[in-house]
Chain A
Amino acid sequence: MSINLFLNGLPVSAEAGQTVLQVAKENNIKIPTLCYLFDKTTGLTHNPAACRVCMVEIKGRRNLAPACVTEVSEGMEILTNTQKARLARKTNLELLLSDHPKDCFVCEKSGKCELQKLSEDLGVDRLRYEGAMSKSNVPVVGTAYTRDDAKCVLCGRCVDACKQYQEIAVISATKRGFATTISGEFGLSSNEIACINCGQCVKVCPTGALLATNQTEAVFEALNDPEKYVVVHTAPSTRVSLGEEFGLPIGTNVQGKMVHALRLLGFKKIFDTNFGADLTIMEESNEFLDRVLKGTGKLPLMTSCCPGWVKYVEHYYPEFLDNLSSCKSPQGMQAALIKSYFAEKEGIDPKKIITVSIMPCIAKKFESARAELGKDGIPDNDISISVKELAVMIRKAGIQFNSLNDQTYDSLLGEGTGAADIFGNTGGVMEAVVRNAAFLIDKQETDVDIITLRGEAGITRSTLNIGGHQLKLAVASGLANAKLLLDAVKAGTESYDAIEIMACPGGCINGGGQPEHPVDVEYSDILKTRHATIRGIDKKKVHRISAQNSEIQALYKDYLKKPGSHKAHELLHTHFTKR
């Protein structure tokens, strides 16, 4: 139903049910917001009307109205720019600033901080209010991310991301009034609570209160150590997002520039985790076929490449631990081979090798630190840094990223097929497994575009004929969706042969370590664009089935013998524990 109203004295029309904020935006007025968050892709709406930075005047109303939740009505007269409204917005912002550390110079979020930007936009030129600080400025450091309560503006976005995306709700507001703070139980770090480290909270945090635990200096230290041989590998989805950190259009494929930059940073070898992804497919499709055809393990087989999902099972669904594929993740496989296969080939002492992974994810930091992912006390992967951290390193080193020409990965562990590229999208792992399984059974390339598995809709269910077998498959992204699926399987109302789950909605392209964008850039546009780039890369690849990867073929021939071999098990498989 269309209604007519007035915005700053001018007649405008709107749909019933729209908010003042939406109507103003459609009419070219941006009302400042802070706590508000809306994600069209998943439908996440966070509008607690808590920050009171979007206040506007509405004629006839006794007080000011929060634009984010106030619905428009027929004949409403909205005034967004009166002295009263502007002063109110500024005063509330100043109040937030009065309880916020003024250490922007040394804050990692500086330049991307929404509070800082608001202060600029609203023209805060002095701080009229000062007083006690509610929280001490002592960061609580976890392996994956660090919480600095003093910088928290209590917008509550993180709480809703955890609750709505993941239905985990491991963090919430505690205490009350001025002392209110957001934390898990007893203010413990992310390592000590039932948090899966997906980092969706970090992604939505407008300030520096939640940040990935920065390990860039540890990488620089290793690079500067003449005793160390530092090898890097880059995850599938990193190439479609890193450019955004340098102002390139969202979703630009910067694989060649990234390799070049890594070389300039001084890494001895630059490998592609896509190789590890292809290898994961080789092992996992073998495991899958064994479980389906020979009954060697529990069905449905559940993917295990997402570290957030894996920890989720360990915490919340331990009854499905045996359903998880025993395969290490691509990061784990790649790193294990760097310190064995590669080290042996090159004659380098594995103790001297430092493996660094570039990931779209911060849960990978926690995965890296898992004691079971290593050999003789030497971790497979030493340091995992996010795309954003890599951008920080590139900037720190003064590398002019945008003018770099393209370079290629080093060989031996540097080749990837299109099947590896699509790991970045939800549904990609399942599609890659199916491509490979079909290829292994039929011994020939069939249709590789398995559109029915591309699970952008939260949960995708399909039945496919693979090599004469009718297989029921499901894909879910976002643990809120995963929960629905698991509960259905548990209750016996649904049954599958294989399930792929990615903790982050949309998959790794939306990981907790991916570049952020200002709130007015629609989430859905970001994901759609990155997604499309990955599809494009896959489409253009000569080889789109993991088994066609020549370096993989060489690896099996020279070293592992065959998928699921004893050696493969020793290096490429792991186990999971109830938490």
Chain B
Amino acid sequence: MCKINSKEELLKLYRNVEGLLDLRKQSIAGKAKEYYISVCGGTGCTSSESLELVKELNKEILALDLKVKVKAEITGCFGFCEKGPIVKVFPDNTFYTKVKPSDAKEIIESHIRDGVIVERLLYVSPNKEIKRKQEDIDFYGKQKRIALRNCGLINPENIQESLAARAYQALANIITNKVDPMTVIAQVSASGIRGRGGAGFPTGTKWKFAAVQPKGKKYVVCNADEGDPGAFMDRSILEGDPHSVLEAMAIAGYSIGSDEGNIYIRAEYPLAVERLKIAIKQAEELGLLGDNILGTDFSFHIKIKYGAGAFVCGEETALIHSIEGTRGEPTNKPPFPAVSGLFGKPTIVNNVETFANLPIILLDGPEKYAAIGSEKSKGTKVFALAGKINNVGLVEVPMGTTLREIIYDIGGGIKNGKKFKAVQTGGPSGGCLTEKHLDTPIDYESLAAAGSMMGSGGMIVLDEDDCMPNIAKFYLEFTVEESCGKCTPCRVGNRRMLEILEKITKGEGSIEDLDRLTVLANNIKDTALCGLGQTAPNPILSTIANFKDEYLAHIVDKTCPAHACKALLNYKIKAEKCIACGMCARVCPVGAITQSTDIQGKLPNRPAYVIDLAKCIKCGSCIAACRPGAVYKD
């Protein structure tokens, strides 16, 4: 490919390739002359053989002598991971779910050749309605996709498609018109966008700090070390729309006076790494990255740096040390990276999602973005919705949307008709919010005021079967494991809190333990060195604040109300429900279940089975095997 040497050439190319997406922007019901099939190529769907599915689709297309033009390609994550692999057929916008490679033949023969929708692959809503189109599905109803704008639309491995989606035009406007960097930064500030990594620091302000540092070597760093358990917003963006991040990094470079960007990405994201590599190569070939971009005197090179998956390396100073090749440990701020960062040079560290928003903000004007969201939190936020919820997946909503809307309207409510108990936001650093917080609008301030935090966007829904002290313990196990070990409160304090929680969940805790736990949690919050340590007590403090009765049940009554803490429950068989089928005894790995001789079961002359509690290891196999539901937790 030959290099693009000016903004005019870029726009010319844009006009040439714009049509690539035409089909995907239309909505034509019924038979069409041309089709385009998008298959989700995100990590979740590829692990369910979506890449094989693309091959199968194209094989079937070739096998049949079709009268219509049709092509199947991968695209980025649709977000509706619960129902993946997702296939979307344009221009009729039919949205197929849970598609297997073996379904390829039927899709091509029926849908493409015969014009008959494959109904069995369509989404069925919880109230049994069949939905054909993406926009008809509740999951997408309240979403607004800005950061994810191109995920599910373009093929991320083809820069032509990104260009058709107006990639690099914001960069071109800025560098070819030699816009004053301070003007660019003012626009970023005017959009109101704040750091999507969790802390919510205003992005424009951060850039300004670095921009006003004396001229010389400066760095732009993209934090792609997404570490919250269950979170995959950044991964999906990088897999689905890598050019949006690359373009924004170059803009950041221009704005602060840097010629080098580093993407710090965890090595556990091989697909994202691969797509980034392809994207960087393609952008360099076109002269959209590298030396003298678009024929200007602005040069910007992007390197990929791998992280080994340490959670603490998401903290910017630890991340910087990791890139420098030293131990990934945070250091005191100040000095802030904007003053002294990578190799002691002014550095800005922004999250993937933050970057992904910027090209479109700068292209369409900051006012448009600022019009979305709440007063202090502008724009949208991507959440990884997980837990006991019907629609697990990636959702992007305007700031200010309530938790209730996300959980019930988008998420489709609680799985298996169970009762909602809490929602955990902000990952291991966040807190658990309850029923009474459901109408809290989602923004940085409101979540913090309610005792949780935005974080990078993890959102885990808990139901009546979840034990809150146990959930707090789960998160603390994570932070104890991920603590770098540098400062005392985090290294030793978190471990001591975990030990106290272990006592409590085993029914060995005392009221004094609860007091010590609270004092310790507050101390760690007040004195730990970095964000990891300072926020580690949040799951404990928020569960104590909102679910103190559950703690007291474990401590005083020695019971686990949710029947989740193994040490505090016994598996028993309700004789009047036992049909003496013997399934429980067959699956019991330790032979703890035998048929009694004298206890009357449900059926005449069939004595009930009983569990020997002394032998029982509480694995739960029996309860899963029992069809009449005679086994219960006590």
> Which of A126-134, A215-223, A316-324, A531-539 sits within the interface?
A126-134
What mask results when residues 120 to 162 of chain A are scored 1 for a CB within 8 Å of chain B, else 0?
A: 0000000011111010000000000000000001100000000
Check if B529 sits within 8 Å of A91, measured CB to CB. no
Provide the bound-state CA to CA distance between A63 and B484, in Å: 20
Indicate the size class of the contact surface on chain A.
35 or more
Check if B485 sits within 8 Å of A48, measured CB to CB. no
Check if B488 sits within 8 Å of A176, measured CB to CB. no
Check if B491 sits within 8 Å of A92, measured CB to CB. no
CB distance from A183 to the nearest CB of B (A): 13
Check if B485 sits within 8 Å of A175, measured CB to CB. yes
Check if B525 sits within 8 Å of A63, measured CB to CB. yes
Interface residues of A in 175-234 (CB under 8 A from B): 175-180
CB distance from A534 to the nearest CB of B (A): 39
Check if A64 sits within 8 Å of B526, measured CB to CB. yes
Check if A177 sits within 8 Å of B493, measured CB to CB. no
Check if B486 sits within 8 Å of A50, measured CB to CB. yes
Check if A69 sits within 8 Å of B332, measured CB to CB. yes
Interface membership of A252, Cβ < 8 A? no
Check if B485 sits within 8 Å of A55, measured CB to CB. no
Within 8 Å CB of A91, what residues of B? 489, 493, 519-520, 523, 527
- Known A49-B332, A129-B520, A178-B480: A64·B527 in contact at CB below 8 Å: yes
Which of A66, A87, A132, A154 is within 8 Å of B491, CB to CB?
A154
Q: List 25 A-B contacts (CB under 8 A).
A: A48-B486, A49-B332, A52-B487, A52-B528, A63-B534, A69-B332, A88-B523, A88-B527, A91-B523, A92-B488, A92-B489, A95-B489, A95-B496, A99-B492, A131-B496, A154-B485, A154-B486, A154-B491, A172-B327, A173-B329, A173-B485, A177-B483, A177-B485, A177-B491, A180-B486
Provide the bound-state CA to CA distance between A153 and B492, in Å: 10
Provide the bound-state CA to CA distance between A91 and B517, in Å: 12
Interface membership of A382, Cβ < 8 A? no
Check if A176 sits within 8 Å of B332, measured CB to CB. no
Which of A52, A87, A132, A154 is within 8 Å of B529, CB to CB?
A52
- Known A71-B334, A98-B492, A178-B480: A84·B526 in contact at CB below 8 Å: yes
Check if B487 sits within 8 Å of A51, measured CB to CB. yes
Provide the bound-state CA to CA distance between A63 and B527, in Å: 7
Interface membership of B481, Cβ < 8 A? yes
CB distance from B449 to the nearest CB of A (A): 14
Provide the bound-state CA to CA distance between A87 and B483, in Å: 23
Taking Cβ atoms with an 8 Å cutoff, the residues of B that contact A are 310, 327, 329, 331-332, 334, 480-489, 491-493, 495-496, 499, 516, 519-520, 523, 525-529, 534
CB distance from B424 to the nearest CB of A (A): 22
Check if B519 sits within 8 Å of A176, measured CB to CB. no
Interface residues of A in 74-107 (CB under 8 A from B): 84, 87-88, 91-92, 95-96, 98-99
Within 8 Å CB of A71, what residues of B? 334
Within 8 Å CB of B493, what residues of A? 91-92, 95
Closest 6 CB pairs of A and B: A180-B485, A177-B483, A95-B492, A131-B499, A49-B332, A178-B495
Interface residues of A in 2-55 (CB under 8 A from B): 48-53, 55
CB distance from A220 to the nearest CB of B (A): 39
Check if B495 sits within 8 Å of A132, measured CB to CB. yes
CB distance from A461 to the nearest CB of B (A): 29
Q: Which of A91, A153, A172 has the most CB of B within 10 A?
A: A91
Provide the bound-state CA to CA distance between A454 and B608, in Å: 95
Prevailing SS type, chain A contact patch:
loop
Which of A87, A96, A131, A177 is within 8 Å of B523, CB to CB?
A87
Provide the bound-state CA to CA distance between A248 and B262, in Å: 58
Within 8 Å CB of B334, what residues of A? 71
Check if B492 sits within 8 Å of A178, measured CB to CB. yes
Within 8 Å CB of B481, what residues of A? 177
Check if B487 sits within 8 Å of A178, measured CB to CB. no
User: What residue in chain A is nearest B529 (Cβ atoms)?
Assistant: A49
Within 8 Å CB of A131, what residues of B? 495-496, 499
- 20 additional contacts, CB 8 Å, given A52-B488, A129-B496, A176-B485? A48-B331, A48-B486, A49-B487, A50-B486, A50-B529, A51-B487, A63-B527, A87-B519, A87-B523, A88-B523, A92-B489, A95-B496, A129-B520, A134-B495, A172-B327, A173-B486, A176-B310, A176-B482, A177-B495, A178-B492
- Known A63-B534, A92-B527: A177·B488 in contact at CB below 8 Å: no
Check if B482 sits within 8 Å of A177, measured CB to CB. yes
User: What residue in chain B is nearest A99 (Cβ atoms)?
Assistant: B492
Prevailing SS type, chain B contact patch:
helix
CB distance from B93 to the nearest CB of A (A): 49
Which of B483, B488, B520, B525 is within 8 Å of A50, CB to CB?
B488
Q: Which of B310, B492, B516, B520 has the most CB of A within 10 A?
A: B492
Provide the bound-state CA to CA distance between A130 and B492, in Å: 10
Within 8 Å CB of B487, what residues of A? 49-52
Which of A52, A153, A178, A180 is within 8 Å of B489, CB to CB?
A52
Provide the bound-state CA to CA distance between A154 and B496, in Å: 17
Check if B491 sits within 8 Å of A180, measured CB to CB. yes
CB distance from A276 to the nearest CB of B (A): 43
Check if B486 sits within 8 Å of A178, measured CB to CB. no
Within 8 Å CB of A66, what residues of B? 332, 529
Provide the bound-state CA to CA distance between A180 and B486, in Å: 8
Within 8 Å CB of B499, what residues of A? 131-132
Check if B327 sits within 8 Å of A52, measured CB to CB. no
Within 8 Å CB of A95, what residues of B? 488-489, 492-493, 496
Within 8 Å CB of B329, what residues of A? 173
User: What residue in chain A is nearest B312 (Cβ atoms)?
Assistant: A176
Check if B485 sits within 8 Å of A178, measured CB to CB. yes
Interface residues of A in 54-70 (CB under 8 A from B): 55, 63-64, 66, 69
Provide the bound-state CA to CA distance between A153 and B487, in Å: 10
User: What residue in chain A is nearest B534 (Cβ atoms)?
Assistant: A63
Provide the bound-state CA to CA distance between A154 and B487, in Å: 8
Check if B527 sits within 8 Å of A128, measured CB to CB. no
CB distance from B496 to the nearest CB of A (A): 5
User: What residue in chain A is nearest B490 (Cβ atoms)?
Assistant: A177
Provide the bound-state CA to CA distance between A273 and B489, in Å: 49
Check if B480 sits within 8 Å of A177, measured CB to CB. yes
CB distance from A184 to the nearest CB of B (A): 15
CB distance from B308 to the nearest CB of A (A): 11
Provide the bound-state CA to CA distance between A50 and B496, in Å: 18
Within 8 Å CB of B526, what residues of A? 55, 63-64, 84, 88
Provide the bound-state CA to CA distance between A404 and B496, in Å: 52
CB distance from B448 to the nearest CB of A (A): 11
Provide the bound-state CA to CA distance between A51 and B332, in Å: 12
Within 8 Å CB of B480, what residues of A? 177-178
Check if B496 sits within 8 Å of A96, measured CB to CB. no
Provide the bound-state CA to CA distance between A129 and B488, in Å: 13
Which of A64, A88, A128, A178 is within 8 Å of B483, CB to CB?
A178
Provide the bound-state CA to CA distance between A176 and B480, in Å: 10
Within 8 Å CB of B528, what residues of A? 52
Provide the bound-state CA to CA distance between A466 and B488, in Å: 58
Within 8 Å CB of B523, what residues of A? 87-88, 91-92
User: What residue in chain B is nearest A92 (Cβ atoms)?
Assistant: B488
Within 8 Å CB of A154, what residues of B? 485-486, 488, 491
User: What residue in chain A is nearest B503 (Cβ atoms)?
Assistant: A131
Provide the bound-state CA to CA distance between A129 and B512, in Å: 11
Check if A128 sits within 8 Å of B516, measured CB to CB. yes
Provide the bound-state CA to CA distance between A133 and B78, in Å: 48
Within 8 Å CB of B482, what residues of A? 176-177
Within 8 Å CB of A51, what residues of B? 487-488
Within 8 Å CB of A153, what residues of B? 488
Provide the bound-state CA to CA distance between A87 and B523, in Å: 8
User: What residue in chain B is nearest A61 (Cβ atoms)?
Assistant: B526
Check if B492 sits within 8 Å of A96, measured CB to CB. yes
- Known A52-B527, A63-B526, A95-B496: A176·B484 in contact at CB below 8 Å: yes
Interface residues of A in 321-352 (CB under 8 A from B): none
Provide the bound-state CA to CA distance between A130 and B520, in Å: 12
